[in-house]
Homo-oligomer: A and B are copies of this chain.
Amino acid sequence: MSGRVTISVDAMGGDHGPGVTVPAACEVVREWPDLDLILVGDAARIREQIRAQGCEGWDQLQVRHASQVVAMDEPPAQALRSKKDSSMRVAIDLVKSGESDAAVSAGNTGALMATGRFVLKTLAGIDRPAIMTALPSRNGHTHMLDLGANVDCKAEHLLQFAVMGSVLAEHVSNLERPRVGLLNVGQEAIKGNEQVKEANALLERSPLNYIGYVEGDHIYCGDVDVVVCDGFVGNVSLKSSEGVARLITGLLKDGFRRNLVTRAAALLAAPVLRAVLEGLDPRRYNGASLVGLRAVVVKSHGGADRMAFANAIRIARLEAAARVPERIGESVHELLSHGTAA
């Protein structure tokens, strides 16, 4: 990594706005002296939060006023048309103009994707950007995409997702030849729908380190680095997983609160429970990459708190420093030449 990285932050997005985004920004610039952040939104409210964090006058924090905010439930097309001075739009415009290297927002996912596509455009060879995140696994983490941007995909789209996932896993997680798996309902060749069978054939001919079909439980096993699926399946898988994790932690909490004996046991068990639950804390995994655009855009969960939003900024910093979009562009170009040669 060389040189400074500048990230524009949609300070108004998400359920909490500047009360969370600014403290998170202050936290991250303290960690990384080579990082600059442009906080976009209601300048007065942002400056007030900067003061409250004791970061007034810091060179690493700039403020850019934007007069509008995209609502969490606003239809993307409407946001695109009528919110040209929204904090989200201005944050992305700053990437387009070259003032920043990446944008981060906890706002409306659909609007963020639509704005990213409209302003930044998709990379040559990529039909549709995808949403990608890292999930905890037994021995590290697994990258998964698409998580909801594309509810209907063709085999070619899944191939493109695989290329993007592989590049990101290689350059951000420093994995050499990441193992790419295609999510299916079984590992045998006869299993699956037509879309998956076609994608399997494309992946087998690709230069990727394709390991074949994987099933839902493999996401968390640690035997695959990149799991590829359409956005409908990916979203359901992710949310089902969150639901089970929440069920288990809820039952554990209830169980340990039951009576004096269990409360005493909880005190002793607390360090182990805390370590396990912290390791799985969704906030540690907050920050989904909108891969396939010509620049880095990271979506934070709308309900993110300071710790979670800070993580989304860290992910954007890593991807910008590793020049992920350029590298995806190179790999797609290679793949297309490879495909033509075959």
Contact = CB atoms under 8 A, between A and B. Distances in A.
Interface of A: 73, 75, 136-138, 148, 151-152, 183, 185-186, 188, 190-194, 196, 215-221, 229, 231-233, 235-248, 250-252, 255-256, 258, 262, 264-266, 268-269, 271-273, 275-276, 279-280
A272 B255 contact: yes
Contacts of A215: 235-236, 239
What 3 pairs across the A-B complex have the smallest Cβ distances? A216-B239, A217-B243, A216-B240
A124 to B, nearest CB: 27
Contacts of A239: 215-217
A220 B238 CA distance: 13
Contacts of A151: 185, 191-193
A215 to B, nearest CB: 5
Contact of A251 (B148, B242, B279): B279
B272 A252 contact: yes
A185 B239 CA distance: 9
A240 B219 contact: yes
A101 to B, nearest CB: 30
A262 B272 contact: yes
Nearest to A137: B247
A186 B232 CA distance: 10
A185 B183 CA distance: 17
B237 A237 contact: yes
A175 to B, nearest CB: 19
A192 B152 CA distance: 9
A333 to B, nearest CB: 31
A275 B194 CA distance: 43
Contact of A240 (B137, B193, B240, B255): B240
B276 A255 contact: yes
A249 B231 CA distance: 28
B243 A219 contact: yes
26 contacts: A75-B190, A137-B247, A151-B185, A151-B192, A152-B194, A185-B232, A185-B235, A193-B232, A215-B239, A217-B242, A218-B243, A219-B243, A220-B243, A220-B246, A236-B236, A240-B241, A244-B244, A248-B248, A248-B280, A252-B272, A252-B276, A258-B272, A262-B271, A264-B268, A265-B268, A265-B269
